Amino acid sequence: MEILHSKILGEEQPFIILHGFLGMSDNWKTLGTQYAENGFQVHLIDQRNHGKSFHSPDFDYELLSQDIVDYMDHHHLDSAIVLGHSMGGKTAMHLATSHPERVTKLIVADIAPKFYPPHHQDIVNALDKLDFEHISSRTEADEQLSQYLRSFSIRQFLLKNLYWVEQGKLGFRFNFDVLKNKMEEIGDNIGPLAIYDGPTLFLRGDRSEYIMPNDYPEIKKHFPNAQIETIDNAGHWLHAENPKQFFEKSFAFLNS
């Protein structure tokens, strides 16, 4: 059994953080450090096929949530607070509804319990066109990506995953060959009867369309004790776009 890679910060109350699609634990380092300085033992996790964790041809939310159970067993964590963003939020929801005794509090960042049709095709297509045989620097990788992706922040987010596979050859840490064929699984929903009645906070970006007011009844159906809060001046990457308010609202919930 392979155990997920993580960075552990701080001591006291266990707090697991799960990144989104094509992300990694490093995306949460700044906020993770803040939580760690306020009485939490923060586990910044790389999910399978992401970051420094193992690669596998198998990829769905049942496996992703079981990976967290295995990780918790390995680190002797009976239970933990769990925060997940986007794809990580789906993993967190699946974990909380299938293993409620392992999740003391749940925070879901900008994703609802519903099916999302594949919608990252522009990113997947751009990554597919990268030719690492002829790229020898991050600057060159960015130049190639910029022909297909205009957003500087999205390109920077993706390029964080670059590393030297061997001398003179760059590659991505995420398992792109598997992930590009798992877009249906990434959009998948939790089960129709899945329920977690522990304390739950859904955070949505005011400029994001991932959680809309018509999703609230579905959220309440699966998570009857859910609060839903909005982060101002933020889209889907709300934790990066307004980290101050994200921390304030999540920390208030953790202390409630």
86 a catalytic residue = yes
The catalytic residue among 58, 73, 128, 177 is: 177
Contacts from 154-163 at CB under 8 Å and sequence distance 24+? 154/123, 157/22, 157/23, 157/27, 157/237, 158/22, 158/123, 158/127, 160/24, 160/26, 160/27, 161/22, 161/24, 161/51, 162/138
Reading the block at residue 198, the tokens are: 């522990």
Q: How many CB atoms lie within 10 A of CB 243?
A: 15
151 a catalytic residue = no
The catalytic residue among 86, 98, 208, 250 is: 86
236 a catalytic residue = yes
The catalytic residue among 5, 43, 94, 236 is: 236
Query: Any idea which residues carry the catalytic annotation?
Result: 86, 177, 236
